[in-house]
A and B are shown apart, each in its own frame.
Chain A
């Protein structure tokens, strides 16, 4: 478990993290969601003992990062947003050294390195000096450090940045495996689909503050009443507006061209009923579309800004 207790971190009187309090449970994937500059990396670096909190405490598995930094460092592994290793070395050398330093026995280390490189399709490229490799390959090697280490607390900062779709899916699968083996995973990302798909819970950060924490579905549920049904009709029928607004859950109805837009609660359940109401009054529906709140809407709602 990771506990952030009223954590503040400033650099020359500019606060990058402001009073963050939250808990990451054992064996969960905790998505840390926020735009660049929100304070995600600073929070991670504080947890990793690299930065010292200006105020507050971080406890990793019960160990305070300020008083027991070496104990904490034995528990965590971080895959950074940008590749951070010696580029004059080969991928295999980098992974071997990382595994050795983090205490993995030689035979297990070599097996994990071989497996990870094979999964990423890097068995051949692992012999090249990493400065010669593409951005995506460098990123894979950065992630591979953690898949070789398999730490108790695994932190991934934008793990799929620069990666193509198959590689992205592979990384997601490997992170899932890591969690299934018992690791706690902190996943810092500014990709909504990644946070939504991967996270058991999400923490939304904005301007250094943790503005909301919860499971993605629950957070989306906080925007109940913001479902939208769009019914494309053969032609606009303003007289329908009076009929549809008789339904209690409908908060707003309007025509945009020949599209009838309904803002309502429980859109998924009410969609058949609303179709019936419209067709009963002679409306000829050509297509129907239901929009439920996305994590992006949640983010927009709580921070007032778009993520990208």
Chain B
């Protein structure tokens, strides 16, 4: 009996696994709201002279949630490889290995985009975005998620222990958050950090999102974000694909 090698089935499985734990999703949204509500409102009371800081920090809070959700893709793959050895089962199913690997990365990007959609909607409402600009906002979230998913799959393909994987994740989170303009404008960052922030996908994503408030779609920021997302997704594919060769 011929099997079905549709990537849809791979994506369906990833979604089932991810959404099986609804508590996790609720926590992610709650974390986003706490980050936005408590940090955003508290800091906006402290920081003046840079406009509404609450609105300034909002996209960053959502992108942090995206980072956490994206690394879940890598964690799933790491578990399949190292803990449960589910990978050998998956490789016996009627999928081509390349198609399977691409599908995993795509589903990781997609499910993060959906996970953060409530946050994106909240920000879209706060920013009074039109529907087309909301869609651009979704695109920004998807590109950023793709980049982080790619990175997380690279880490999952290389890490031999959960400690190593989580350390890579923490390091990536620190780099994305503190060496970018997620919290502060580049003009008030230390000079070295300010330079580094120009090469940080968080900066590209968060600034693109902020620009939407003014009705601007900044292609100069979206272009490198797209390039990096594609490059990291492809790198993730290469590393993941390599783990399938025995």
* A in complex with B: yes
A interface residues with partner B (beta carbon < 8 Å):
11, 45, 48-52, 69-70, 73-74, 76-78, 80, 82, 84-89, 93, 97, 100-104, 129, 149-152
Bound complex: CA A104 to CA B3 (Å):
8
Give chain B residues whose Cβ lies under 8 Å from the Cβ of A70: 5, 94-96
Q: Is B46 an interface residue (CB 8 A)?
A: no
Give the 5 A-B residue pairs with the shortest CB-CB distance, closest first.
A84-B89, A103-B3, A73-B94, A51-B246, A88-B20
Instruction: Decide if A152 touches B94 in the complex (CB within 8 Å).
Output: no
Q: Is B211 an interface residue (CB 8 A)?
A: no
Give chain B residues whose Cβ lies under 8 Å from the Cβ of A78: 89, 92
Instruction: Decide if B92 touches A48 in the complex (CB within 8 Å).
Output: yes
Q: Is B12 an interface residue (CB 8 A)?
A: yes
Give chain B residues whose Cβ lies under 8 Å from the Cβ of A151: 1
Instruction: Decide if A103 touches B4 in the complex (CB within 8 Å).
Output: yes
Looking at chain B's contact residues, is the secondary structure mostly helix, strand, loop, or mixed?
loop
Instruction: Decide if B1 touches A87 in the complex (CB within 8 Å).
Output: no
Instruction: Decide if A89 touches B94 in the complex (CB within 8 Å).
Output: no
Give chain A residues whose Cβ lies under 8 Å from the Cβ of B3: 73-74, 101-103
Give chain B residues whose Cβ lies under 8 Å from the Cβ of A11: 246
Instruction: Decide if A84 touches B9 in the complex (CB within 8 Å).
Output: no
Bound complex: CA A104 to CA B9 (Å):
13
Instruction: Decide if A89 touches B85 in the complex (CB within 8 Å).
Output: no
Bound complex: CA A70 to CA B97 (Å):
9
Bound complex: CA A150 to CA B3 (Å):
12
Instruction: Decide if B94 touches A50 in the complex (CB within 8 Å).
Output: no
Give chain B residues whose Cβ lies under 8 Å from the Cβ of A52: 245-246
Bound complex: CA A52 to CA B1 (Å):
24
Instruction: Decide if A87 touches B96 in the complex (CB within 8 Å).
Output: no
Who on chain B is nearest to A100 by CB?
B9
Q: A89-B17, A97-B16, A101-B93 in contact; A50/B88 too (CB < 8 A)?
A: yes
Instruction: Decide if A97 touches B1 in the complex (CB within 8 Å).
Output: no
Q: A48-B92, A82-B85, A84-B84 in contact; A97/B2 too (CB < 8 A)?
A: no
Number of A-B contacts (CB under 8 A): 85
Bound complex: CA A98 to CA B69 (Å):
26
In the assembled complex, the CB of A151 is this many whole angstroms from the nearest CB of chain B, namely: 7
Q: Is B126 an interface residue (CB 8 A)?
A: no
**The residue from A50, A102, A152 contacting B246, defined by CB atoms under 8 A apart:** A50
Bound complex: CA A97 to CA B3 (Å):
12
**The residue from B1, B91, B246 contacting A74, defined by CB atoms under 8 A apart:** B1
Bound complex: CA A51 to CA B12 (Å):
26
- Which of B4, B12, B86, B89: most chain A CB closer than 10 A? B89
Known: A51-B246, A74-B2. 14 other contacts (CB 8 A): A11-B246, A49-B91, A70-B5, A73-B95, A85-B89, A86-B13, A86-B16, A89-B16, A97-B13, A100-B4, A101-B93, A101-B95, A103-B1, A103-B4
In the assembled complex, the CB of A97 is this many whole angstroms from the nearest CB of chain B, namely: 6
**The residue from A45, A73, A87, A89 contacting B93, defined by CB atoms under 8 A apart:** A73
**The residue from A48, A50, A86, A150 contacting B86, defined by CB atoms under 8 A apart:** A86
**The residue from A74, A77, A93 contacting B16, defined by CB atoms under 8 A apart:** A93
Please provide the chain B residues from 76 to 90 with a CB less than 8 Å away from any CB of chain A in the complex: 84-86, 88-89
